[in-house]
């Protein structure tokens, strides 16, 4: 069951602002444009460019919600583009769809080469017509996993949800797991390196649920089909001709909290002998593809649990510490503050002479003795509202965990904006979303009669 966002409403239609395609191949661009015009008429604002400088301007100032990047394009300096994106990865935190030439590049090598980017999935040229619309539908329905976290409980720090994945989604499973993994990075729950491993582990487990669980494809069935010159997707489509198999689903559920992240993958198959499978894993190593999903899961998780039937596996990741976000290029020379639990970052009544970039840590917002919210790395900045309005802090912020903050005085902030004007646009959008979320939370918690006070909460 995909989660839907209502943040953009134009007329009677929800809308994603911008998609940028960085590609010099007119055939690919025409294919992408044709799919969007036919399947999503009027829903997207498209930008096409084959110039890296222009592409960076669009990424910096349009802040697109989705980027389509041609990874096999000989005319693009992809190394330079990747470096510039990673230089300010906090700014470029949206999803990327990579298209490539299957005849020139191996998917596994591209995944490794561009693992530092927020790759949702890879599509070879031949799949644009058949799979691109499905990818966009998934991203559109679940975009808040990247762009906002309005379903999160700001006091308890919990965020939960589920994907109901059909067998027909087999080729695009990585889009679901990519959206979820990017959210984990933005919240500081995992590092960029762990994000890639988590995405791969969850993808493998969901794929196993479709292939072996729902479709009942044994390893022997698969090997025979591949040896005969077929591919796995053909075999899955063949099994899906059975209406009973076609209606089966894989449910990917998650519960994310400050202490741990829990992922549950449940398929509609008959399951397997869990005890025998656990025993067989003792002889499985990284050179053997059998049990690859579990092997990857062992790398990223602290505990792996099976149900008795064998059609459900649970991954649990304990959060021993929150991971630091990379320091934005424009703030790299500013003062780094190391805080410990209980430290007061700002006090109510203090002048707002600085803004803070959140590298790591969880922070409580306290108003008149009440905890009215929490701030984490996914909020990016702390104290921006009072700072931009040039008002005294009306609430205090106290570190709940150890963490790191970059303190940016007003004079430095203005200098940075002159060098990196795109930061100003990003902060403006962030402020609007943050203000809405904070006000909605306070109104819900304290009642509409205190709405006026909520509107004046500027830390």
- Mapped onto helix, strand or coil, the DSSP state of residue 426 is helix
Residue 271 to residue 307: CA distance in whole angstroms: 9
In 65-106, which residue ranges form alpha helices assigned H by DSSP? 78-87
Tokens matching residue 359: 């590298």
| Domain 149-320 CATH assignment equals 3.30.565.10 | yes
| Domain 329-421 CATH assignment equals 3.30.70.360 | no
Residue 225 to residue 213: CA distance in whole angstroms: 18
- What pTM was computed for the model? 0.76
Residue 405 to residue 363: CA distance in whole angstroms: 11
Radius of gyration over every alpha carbon of the chain, rounded to an integer in angstroms: 23
Q: Where are the domains of the chain?
A: 1-143, 149-320, 329-421
Q: What's the CATH number of domain 1-143, 3.80.10.10, 3.30.70.3000, 3.40.50.2300, 3.40.309.10?
A: 3.40.50.2300
Burial of 177 (0-12, 13-18, 19+ CB in 10 A): buried
Tokens matching residue 179: 């959206």
Per-residue model confidence as pLDDT tens for the chain (459 residues): 333 223 232 333 444 568 999 999 999 999 999 999 999 888 888 999 999 999 999 999 888 889 999 999 999 999 999 999 988 887 887 889 999 998 899 988 998 899 889 899 999 998 998 999 999 999 888 877 765 444 344 444 567 889 999 999 999 999 999 999 888 887 778 877 788 889 999 999 999 999 999 999 988 988 888 888 888 889 999 999 999 999 999 999 999 887 889 999 999 999 877 777 666 656 555 444 445 666 677 777 888 899 989 999 999 998 766 667 778 889 989 999 999 999 999 999 999 999 999 998 889 999 988 998 888 887 889 998 888 888 999 999 999 989 999 999 999 999 999 998 989 888 887 777 766 666 665 666 665 444 444 445 567
Tokens matching residue 326: 């990379």
Residue 96 to residue 145: CA distance in whole angstroms: 14
């Amino acid at each position: 069951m995909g989660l839907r966002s209502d943040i953009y409403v134009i007329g009677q239609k929800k809308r994603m602002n911008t998609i940028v395609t960085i590609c010099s191949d007119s055939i690919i661009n025409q294919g992408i444009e044709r799919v969007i015009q036919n399947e999503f008429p009027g829903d997207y604002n498209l930008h096409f460019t084959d110039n890296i400088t222009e592409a960076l301007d669009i990424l910096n100032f349009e802040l697109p919600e989705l980027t389509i990047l041609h990874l096999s394009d000989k005319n693009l300096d992809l190394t330079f583009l990747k470096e510039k994106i990673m230089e300010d990865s906090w700014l470029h935190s949206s999803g990327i769809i990579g298209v490539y030439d299957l005849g020139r590049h191996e998917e596994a090598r591209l995944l490794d080469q561009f693992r530092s980017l927020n790759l949702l999935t890879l599509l070879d040229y031949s799949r644009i017509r058949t799979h691109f619309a499905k990818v966009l539908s998934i991203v559109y329905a679940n975009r808040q996993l990247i762009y906002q976290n309005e379903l999160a409980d700001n006091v308890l720090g919990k965020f939960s949800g589920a994907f109901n994945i059909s067998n027909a989604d087999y080729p695009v499973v990585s889009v679901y797991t990519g959206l979820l993994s990017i959210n984990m990075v933005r919240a500081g729950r995992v590092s960029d390196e762990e994000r890639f491993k988590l995405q791969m582990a969850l993808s493998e487990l969901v794929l196993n649920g479709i292939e072996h669980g729902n479709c009942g494809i044994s390893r022997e069935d698969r090997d025979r089909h591949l040896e005969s010159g077929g591919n796995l997707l053909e075999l899955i489509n063949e099994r899906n001709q059975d209406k009973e198999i076609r209606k089966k689903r894989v449910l990917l559920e998650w519960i994310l909290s400050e202490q741990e992240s829990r992922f549950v993958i449940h398929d509609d198959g008959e399951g397997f002998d869990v005890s025998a499978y656990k025993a067989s894993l003792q002889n499985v190593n990284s050179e053997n593809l059998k049990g690859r999903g579990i092997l990857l899961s062992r790398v990223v998780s602290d505990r792996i649990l099976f149900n008795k039937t064998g059609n459900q596996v649970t991954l649990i990741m304990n959060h021993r510490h929150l991971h630091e976000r990379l320091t934005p290029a424009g703030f790299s020379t500013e003062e780094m503050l190391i805080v410990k639990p209980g430290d007061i970052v700002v006090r109510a009544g203090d002048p707002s002479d600085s803004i803070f970039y959140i590298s790591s840590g969880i922070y409580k917002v306290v108003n008149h003795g009440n905890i009215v919210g929490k701030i984490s790395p996914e909020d990016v900045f702390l104290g921006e509202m009072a700072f931009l309005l040039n008002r005294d802090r009306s609430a205090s912020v106290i570190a709940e965990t150890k963490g790191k903050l970059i303190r940016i005085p007003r004079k430095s902030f203005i200098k940075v904006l002159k060098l990196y004007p795109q930061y100003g646009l990003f902060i403006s959008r962030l402020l609007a979303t943050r203000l809405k979320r904070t006000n909605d939370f306070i109104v819900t918690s304290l009642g509409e009669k205190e709405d006026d006070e909520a509107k004046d909460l500027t830390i």
